[in-house]
């Protein structure tokens, strides 16, 4: 964030806080790195290790260290999937399983907060790819909120077309009064419309499940099945939005939250991979 080094031959003081995958650095009392994800230098495809050595380095120059001490911090409370056969995708305190826009999407108080004013770009995706799965999560909308759940999507391109997008939307907002049926919450965007009327009032938490197995996609919102369709059959004679969806029948891909400039929150995100049907 700034240069705070003392002149050569003067002592410098570091204070480094490492919590999960995020690091904050004070140099000579000045905040120079503020709560950013520390990438794994040795293998950028995986997160930084949860626990390992602290290393002092020199690169052929004379350098002196002194007054080195450390205090181990208690890990922040983490969310763990309550179902034994589900894996936790978001632990409530870190983005270890995610990649992409880790600026606008960030953990706070056990929730995955989306704040589009932070200056990030793009969407947030799982690092792993998933084919057939059962996904569960909670979400809390703000007035007019618009997001989306991308599934079987690559990391580049518009996930609604190069993969598949399930709408996450405040249908009650006046600006959405003239939506097409395939644009309402829970719909497979441009392909299959979802039943309406099962979202809780804006500001309350909703529970959603998505079951993807082969070409069949099911969406359950607050205990009600709002979509249960076959994407291959639904597009046999063309798509509902009359557009090309080249990634619709992808066998696998990333799961992502697809921001459209709206603040909202997610929590309790977990997944179970399903055995492919023969």
Q: Please tell me the least confidently modeled range out of 12-16, 70-74, 193-197.
A: 70-74
Q: How high is the pLDDT of residue 52?
A: 81
pLDDT-wise least confident of 30-44, 45-59, 89-103, 144-158: 45-59
User: Distance of alpha carbon 274 from its chain centroid, rounded?
Assistant: 21
What was the pLDDT predicted at 42? 81
Q: Where are the domains of the chain?
A: 1-75, 87-273
Backbone angles phi, psi at 262, to 5 degrees: -115, 140
pLDDT at 46 over 80: no
pLDDT at 75 > cutoff 70:
no
User: Given this model, what pLDDT does residue 77 score?
Assistant: 62
pLDDT for 278 beyond 70: no
Instruction: Give me the mean pLDDT over the 174-200 stretch.
Output: 96
* Cα 90 to Cα 176: distance, rounded to the nearest angstrom: 30
Q: What are phi and psi of 129, to 5 degrees?
A: -100, 150
Write down the pLDDT at residue 187. 98
Percentage of the chain beyond pLDDT 90 is 79
| Model pLDDT, residue 113 | 95
Q: Which band of pLDDT confidence, cut at 50, 70 and 90, is reported for residue 73?
A: confident
pLDDT of 30 > 90? The answer is yes
- Tell whether the model's pLDDT for residue 194 goes beyond 80: yes
Helix (H, G, I), strand (E, B) or coil at 120: coil
| Average pLDDT of the chain, as a whole number | 93
Query: Around Cβ 178, how many Cβ atoms within 10 Å?
Result: 7
- pLDDT given for residue 277 in this prediction: 59
State the average pLDDT over residues 95-106: 91
139-to-47, 96, 104, 246, 263 alpha-carbon distances in Å: 25, 20, 16, 28, 11
Does the pLDDT of residue 50 top 90, yes or no?
Answer: no
Rounded percentage of the chain residues whose pLDDT exceeds 70:
98
The tens digit of pLDDT for each residue in 136-186 reads 999 999 999 999 999 999 999 999 999 999 999 999 999 999 999 999 999
Higher pLDDT, 236 or 19: 236
CATH code assigned to 87-273: 2.60.120.560
| Segment holding 162, helix H or strand E | helix 159-162
Consecutive H or E run containing 160 = helix 159-162
pLDDT of residue 16: 97
**What Å distances lie between residue 55 and 37, 52, 58, 66, 94, CA to CA?**
18, 10, 10, 14, 23
pTM of the model: 0.81
Instruction: Report the pLDDT averaged over residues 81-85.
Output: 95
3-class secondary structure, 144? coil
Query: Tell me, what's the pLDDT at 49?
Result: 77
Instruction: Average the pLDDT over 34-40 and give the result.
Output: 88
């Amino acid at each position: 964030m700034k240069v705070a080094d003392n002149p050569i031959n003067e002592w410098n003081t570091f204070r480094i806080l490492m919590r999960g995958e995020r690091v904050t650095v004070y140099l000579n009392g000045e905040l120079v790195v503020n709560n950013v994800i520390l990438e794994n230098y040795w293998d950028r495809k995986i997160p930084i290790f949860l626990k390992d050595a602290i290393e002092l380095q020199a690169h052929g120059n004379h350098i002196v260290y002194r007054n080195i001490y450390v205090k181990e911090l208690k890990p922040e409370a983490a969310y763990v999937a309550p179902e034994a056969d589900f894996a936790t995708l978001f632990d409530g305190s870190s983005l270890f399983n995610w990649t992409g826009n880790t600026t606008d999407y960030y953990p706070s108080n056990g929730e995955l907060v989306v704040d589009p004013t932070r200056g990030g770009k793009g969407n947030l995706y799982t690092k792993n790819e998933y084919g057939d799965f059962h996904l569960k999560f909670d979400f809390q909308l703000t007035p007019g909120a618009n997001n989306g759940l991308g599934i079987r999507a690559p990391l580049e391109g518009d996930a609604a077309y190069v993969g598949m997008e399930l709408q996450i939307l405040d249908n009650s907002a006046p600006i959405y009064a003239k939506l097409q049926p395939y644009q309402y919450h829970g719909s497979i965007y441009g392909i299959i419309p979802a039943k309406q009327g099962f979202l809780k009032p804006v500001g309350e938490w909703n529970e959603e499940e998505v079951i993807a197995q082969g070409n069949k996609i099911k969406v359950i919102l607050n205990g009600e099945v709002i979509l249960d369709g076959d994407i291959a059959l639904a597009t046999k004679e063309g798509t509902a939005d009359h557009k090309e969806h080249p990634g619709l029948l992808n066998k696998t891909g990333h799961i992502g939250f697809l921001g459209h400039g709206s603040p909202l929150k997610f929590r309790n995100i977990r997944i179970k991979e399903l055995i492919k049907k023969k």
